[in-house]
Structure 1
Amino acid sequence: MAAATRTDHKANPLKSFIAGGFGGICNVLTVYPLDTIKVRLQTMPLPAAGQSPRYNGIVDCTVKTFRTEGLRGFYRGISAPLVGVAPIYAVIFAVYAVGKRLFQTDEHIKLNYTQIFMAGVGTGICSALVAVPTDRIKVLLQTQSLTRPRKYNGIMDTAIKLYREGGIRSLYKGTCAGMLRDSPTGVYFVVYEALQDLARRRSPSGNITATSTIFAGGMAGITFWSIAVPFDLLKSRLQSAPEGTYKHGIRSVFRDLMATEGPKALFRGASPILIRAFPSTAAVFIGVEVANDLLYS
């Protein structure tokens, strides 16, 4: 993978938009089952006194999902992220390119890590605005009970019912939580670029490789999600709750969580998140670098 380095060309938002979209598709196809497990662990109800929890960790959730629903159970709601993730990552990389252009006066300006961080800061806010509606639909489809008549039947049915019940506000429920979750994106890009720079220095050709991209992308994902896990849990709780449960949004979710389950509950579902973080982000950057090879060749 002899991809261009960040000093070979000035950032192009349109090409970055296309490359980011392709990377997003690679992400969803790679790790969606772990996302389903993560959401189910985050949103399962507290057990009654003397009863066991619905799931005893990631392995138990995996086994029970497979036994009751088969392989299809791991992919419930996948149409929402497939439709939504491509534009989300397209926006992330396009906004990142716009941020980089603010510091690039010509083709040969090498950004330092502070500039890379600043270029990446705005991507989290912009991506949350695109991601929240599909996140909301995905969470509802992943968590609805199979033992009752289904309220939602697919992405379009869910979107229509949410709009009828609460308008645009219902579709965008959890926006503040989503912005908080996605705010460390600047760190995400710094880790990726730093590890790729290290790979370039060690490579005789001065180019990155597929192996370095997988490693750098995976470590960027783990770093990002290590910071974002608590906000992701609060978002999932808020988005899956019936209307009127949390009157003050994420603040109400946080207060309720601290009162009933304590601080450790903020990291429920962290295992599947961190397990999927490496392959999912590696898949994104592999897709982006492959697309860049074609777009800049």
Structure 2
Amino acid sequence: MSNALVNGLAGAGGGMIAQILTYPLQSVNTRQQTERIAKKSQPNKSSSSTLFQILEVIRSEGIGGLYSGLKPSLLGTATSQGIYYYFYQVFKNKAESIAATNKRKGLGDGTVGMFSWLVVAALAGALNVLFTNPIWVLVTRMQTHTQAEQKILEAKKEALLRDSSLTGSSLHDKFRELESTKPNPYGTLHAAYEVYNEAGLMGFWKGIIPTLIMVCNPSIQFMIYESSMKYLKAKRADKKQSSNTVTALEVFLVGAVAKLGATVTTYPLLVVKSRLQAKQEISTNNSLRYSGTMDAIVKMIQYEGFSCFYKGMSTKIVQSVFAASVLFMIKEELVKLYATLAKKSQKILLTRSN
């Protein structure tokens, strides 16, 4: 099995475990990102804490509400991490080969430079985005479906209040009818049908522009990660330690620092992407509905101010940093485990042949 395939499968496994552990935070964070409040209409309203929002989801939707969209999300994570790490390793091998060739020609020290790491990560990220964006559109829809339905219900109530022909008991009956209406079941196929109905096949690539720009997130992340790992291994080599292997805890901490730097840098793009992928009825105000990336950015600045680009960032930092740390740690351990098992199987084969 090639090292690219090993890294791809290990990345998929690590990503799924990290996703399961942090999914409630991710689900709440998506709701925070897509909440739209015009500063002029509600200047004093501030977003509640993450813990309060988690408890509110549990109260209104049960524990299951925190895991809405988990199945397609796990599929997306496994596919995304598998594709990303596979192509990342392919491009990494190529970069290392070029660096070694250059060294033989007297150019450089044989190691891959920081800019090369950025290019490698960006290429792998771009391919990953193009293949997996439809899955993440469905996940965002499922995570924010209840939020959108509540906004639609509020809009219907406001319409009833404005209807001058309804008064007294008739208005009360209409309100009771709305309140008693049970929401339609909403699964992956329902989300897919809704997206296709709204915008055809291209609807599955909503938010692709900010998402493609966001390939700089893993690029920054891997630049920090690879540079830090290179530094740690070189430090061990300088001290002439018996092993220059980096421990699981060190991988966890390096992964956390790398993801923190990448998340803070690119978070505004993530908010724009989530808002484009969510159902636009999530806002009852037409001024807060978007037709594209630039329309979203302009309206967000005009009606909500620059602070809206950082809605839920503290939640995202906790979720993404922990998830990335777990992913890196588990991936590296799975790669080591495969290497150990491969060596043992080779020894057994050699013993039998002799």
The TM-score range, normalised by the shorter chain, is: 0.7 to 0.9
Q: Please list, as runs of the form range in 1=range in 2, the aligned pairs for 1:185-224 lying within 5 A after superposition.
A: 185-201=218-234, 204=241, 205-224=243-262
**Alpha-carbon spacing, 1:106–1:266, altered in 2? closer, same or farther (3 Å):** closer
SS in 1 for 2:73: helix
Q: Which amino acid aligns with 2:275?
A: R
Percent identity between matched residues is 21
The number of residue pairs the alignment matches comes to 286
Report if aligned partners of 1:30, 1:283 keep a CA contact under 8 Å in 2.
no
Q: Secondary structure at the match of 1:103?
A: helix
Displacement of 1:270 after TM fit?
0.6
Match for residue 120 of structure 1? 121
TM-score of the superposed pair, with normalisation by structure 2:
0.73
**CA displacement, residues 160-197 of structure 1 (integer Å, 9 cap, x when unaligned):** 33224432111111111211223232221121122223
1:60 to 49, 52, 56: 52
The CA deviation at 1:15 is 2.1
Q: Tell me what 1:288 maps to.
A: 331
Residue 298 of structure 2 corresponds to: 255
TM-score normalized by structure 1? 0.86
- For the 8 Å contact 2:214–2:269, the answer to whether it is kept is yes
- Judged with a 3 Å threshold, the aligned counterparts in structure 2 of structure 1 residues 51 and 267 are, in CA distance, closer, same or farther, namely closer
Q: Any conservation in 2 of the 1:221–1:280 contact (CA below 8 Å)?
A: no
Q: Which amino acid is 1:192 matched to? A: Y
**Aligned mate of 1:229, from 250, 254, 267:** 267
- The answer on 1:158 being equivalent to 2:150 is no
* Equivalent residue, structure 2, for 1:46: 37
Asked if 1:272 corresponds to 2:352, the answer is no
Q: Which runs of 5+ in 1 are unaligned?
A: 1-10
Listed as ranges, the gaps of 5+ residues in structure 2 are 101-109, 154-181, 341-354
Per-residue deviation, 1:52: 6.5
Of 62, 83, 96, 2:88 maps to 96
2:95 and 2:116 in contact (8 A); partners too: yes
Of 4, 8, 13, the residue aligned with 2:4 is 13
Deviations 1:70-92 (A, max 9, x none): 32221111111101111101111
2:211 is aligned, of 169, 172, 178, to 178
Aligned to 1:70: 62
1:5 is aligned to none
Q: 1:98 to 1:230 in 2, by over 3 A?
A: same
* Gap change, CA 1:214 and 1:168, over 3 Å in 2: same
Partner SS for 1:104: helix
CA distance in 2, matches of 1:53, 1:67: 21
Give the partner amino acid of 2:225: Y
Task: Report the aligned-residue RMSD.
Answer: 2.6
Q: Deviations over 1:243-265 (max 9, x none)?
A: 89423x11000010010011111
CA apart distance, 1:157: 2.4
CA distance in 2, matches of 1:52, 1:13: 52
